[in-house]
């Protein structure tokens, strides 16, 4: 693979100015208003070139309490707005994001390290979910049911929960926030966003864009709140009984802590956690088409997607031929400055991620894995940040401990099978995670078996496309240690609302259900 890179990225001074980001920023906001930020300073360094982009002042406990009270007051008014009127605000936010797409996409790429195309694609996801939410604002439907009692009517309706805590990860620093907020806002909720401390400036940009739209529409203060900080902010949100729903995206370890804290107070959690995703390459697959999905799934975002492809389960009959295609494709990868659109792979988020990558590669070899495409940390001109690594391919066995884990880095494990599609599905389902999965086959029976109740146990199951790159129209999420949550499309909006069953007696008598008599 090529390691030729362009000069280090500029600090994007004009982009930062356009997005309202200064050298030092308050990271605590209730909408249009910004609090001082009396907590720890979070410094954002770009993994692209190691440069300091800026810093964010995080929230103190007192400021957290202040934000919560403003949010509660804002909710009391926001929930009374008709849903289509709330949808109109979200529509305008989508238009504002269109206007800022280039700048925000560049910031995402520079602060997080994903390619510019992926950064722009992430902003497009924000635009798409706004469009989806606008239509949804006129479709928050319930059901009407027939009562067993005469002159009675039964129906169900949905009401907003109230305050929704949103905890997001560094790898999608803006899109996942929008998945939650666009739906929560049209449902009548207000949101409190705890962004990743690794990408705080993206949250400042999103809040400033949102604030402009909210100001024009006289949206009450407290509907869109951000509370930057480290782990303790997430702990405050999780334990706070004033927040009925907490949506958290991140590692399985983090999700277990959030789920336990929220569950202890009988709140609700929406968890989007780890993935250990596999693509099955059948002997009936189109190998050329399969190659694109496998390579992008494995190296896109430098392997730092929850939907990244970690495992390829390849039929023995096409194993050698497909390996040659993979090796050739990996040899063409360009690694370097993600703002240079000629490059395919950018850096990992920080040097701690690089250390994790190196440990995983060493463990794979110690456990018997055979390296087919060597990895390694890159150094020299263009790699001064110390965050660039080579995507690696390792031949492995399904039962190896390292294969059972999710390593957030571009390491791809190759596994053989030589039986039926059921054998491949069994290998795929052996891991604890259950987010995304795919099969490459031109055989209708294999495809249908993969999608059946005895097939993939993941929340996402694809045929002839890869594991990453989900569209917002479908509900996004997974099973097992992925957490069971669903965000984005389909009927995921129901997670942000509480269901209420109503019975109306419009007659002159009060009969009881089940024929019970209670005469006085």
| Active-site option among 221, 272, 446, 481 | 272
Cβ count within 10 A of residue 305: 24
Active site residue 306: yes
How far separated are the first and last CA of the chain, in Å rounded?
Answer: 87
According to DSSP, residue 384 is labeled T
Dist. CA 247–CA 485, nearest whole Å: 9
pLDDT value, residue 10? 54
pTM: 0.96
The residues near 131 (Cβ < 8 Å, ≥ 6 apart) are 91, 94
| Active-site option among 206, 225, 294, 306 | 306
377 neighbors 362 (Cβ within 8 angstroms): no
How far is CA 462 from each of CA 208, 260, 263, 277, 449, rounded to the nearest angstrom? 37, 31, 32, 11, 12
Dist. CA 446–CA 279, nearest whole Å: 13
Dist. CA 89–CA 181, nearest whole Å: 12
Q: Which of 425, 428, 472, 429 lies closest to 445, judged by CA?
A: 425
The residues near 239 (Cβ < 8 Å, ≥ 6 apart) are 261, 265
E-only strand ranges, 423-519: 433-434, 436-440, 460-463, 475-476, 479-480, 487-488, 497-505
pLDDT value, residue 111? 98
pLDDT value, residue 11? 63
According to DSSP, residue 219 is labeled P
> What tokens appear for 107 in the block?
């910031």
pLDDT value, residue 520? 84
> What tokens appear for 51 in the block?
């440069």
Q: Which of 106, 104, 111 lies closest to 52, judged by CA?
A: 111
Secondary structure class of 182 (helix, strand, coil): helix
Q: Angle 24-28-32 (CA atoms, 0-180°, nearest 5)?
A: 100
Dist. CA 428–CA 460, nearest whole Å: 13
Which residue ranges of the chain lie beneath pLDDT 50? 3-9
Active site residue 272: yes
- How far from chain centre, in Å, is Cα 377? 27
pLDDT value, residue 519? 86
Q: Angle 323-327-333 (CA atoms, 0-180°, nearest 5)?
A: 145
Q: What is the dihedral of CA 76, 81, 86, 89, to 10 degrees?
A: -90
pLDDT value, residue 7? 38
Dist. CA 92–CA 239, nearest whole Å: 34
């Amino acid at each position: 693979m090529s390691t030729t890179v362009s000069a280090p990225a500029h600090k994007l001074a004009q982009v930062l100015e356009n997005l309202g980001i200064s050298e030092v920023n308050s990271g605590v906001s209730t909408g249009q208003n910004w609090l001082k930020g009396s907590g720890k300073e979070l410094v954002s360094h770009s993994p692209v070139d190691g440069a300091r982009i800026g810093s964010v002042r995080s929230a103190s406990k007192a400021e957290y309490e202040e934000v919560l009270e403003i949010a509660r007051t804002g909710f009391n008014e926001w929930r009374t707005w008709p849903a289509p009127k709330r949808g109109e605000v979200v529509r305008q936010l989508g238009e504002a994001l269109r206007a800022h797409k280039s700048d925000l996409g560049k910031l995402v790429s520079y602060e997080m390290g994903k390619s510019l195309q992926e950064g722009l694609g992430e902003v497009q996801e924000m635009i798409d979910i706004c469009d989806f939410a606008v239509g949804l604002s006129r479709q928050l439907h319930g059901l009407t049911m027939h009562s067993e009692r005469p002159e009675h009517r039964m129906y169900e309706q949905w009401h907003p929960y109230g305050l929704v805590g949103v905890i997001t990860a560094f790898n999608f620093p803006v899109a996942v926030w929008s998945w939650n907020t666009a739906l929560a806002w049209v449902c009548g909720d207000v949101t409190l966003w705890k962004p990743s401390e690794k990408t705080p400036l993206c949250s400042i940009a999103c809040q400033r864009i949102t604030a402009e739209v909210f100001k024009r529409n006289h949206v009450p203060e407290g509907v869109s709140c951000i509370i930057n900080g480290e782990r303790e902010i997430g702990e405050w949100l999780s334990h706070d009984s004033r927040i009925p729903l907490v949506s958290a995206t991140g590692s399985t370890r983090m999700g277990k802590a959030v789920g336990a804290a929220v569950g202890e107070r009988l709140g609700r959690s929406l968890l989007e956690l780890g993935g250990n995703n596999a693509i099955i390459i059948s002997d009936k697959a189109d190998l050329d088409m399969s190659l694109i999905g496998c390579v992008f799934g494995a190296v896109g975002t430098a392997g730092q997607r929850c939907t990244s492809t970690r495992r390829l389960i390849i039929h023995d009959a096409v194993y050698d031929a497909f390996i040659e295609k993979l090796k050739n494709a990996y040899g063409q990868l360009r690694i370097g400055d993600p703002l240079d659109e000629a490059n395919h792979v950018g850096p990992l988020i920080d040097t701690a991620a690089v250390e994790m990558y190196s440990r995983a590669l060493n463990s794979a070899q110690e456990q018997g894995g055979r390296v087919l495409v060597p990895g390694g940390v890159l150094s020299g001109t263009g790699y001064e940040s110390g965050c660039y690594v080579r995507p690696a391919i390792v031949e492995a066995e399904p039962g190896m401990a390292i294969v059972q884990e999710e390593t957030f880095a571009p390491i791809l494990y190759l596994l053989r099978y030589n039986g039926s599609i059921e054998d491949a599905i069994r290998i795929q389902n052996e891991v604890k995670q259950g987010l995304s999965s795919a099969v490459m086959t031109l055989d209708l029976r294999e495809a249908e078996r993969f999608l059946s109740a005895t097939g993939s146990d993941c929340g996402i199951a694809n045929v002839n496309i890869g594991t990453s790159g989900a569209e917002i129209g479908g509900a996004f999420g997974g099973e097992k240690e992925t957490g069971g949550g669903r965000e984005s499309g389909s009927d995921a909006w129901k997670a942000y609302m509480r269901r209420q069953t109503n019975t109306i007696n419009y007659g002159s008598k009060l009969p009881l259900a089940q024929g019970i008599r209670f005469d006085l």
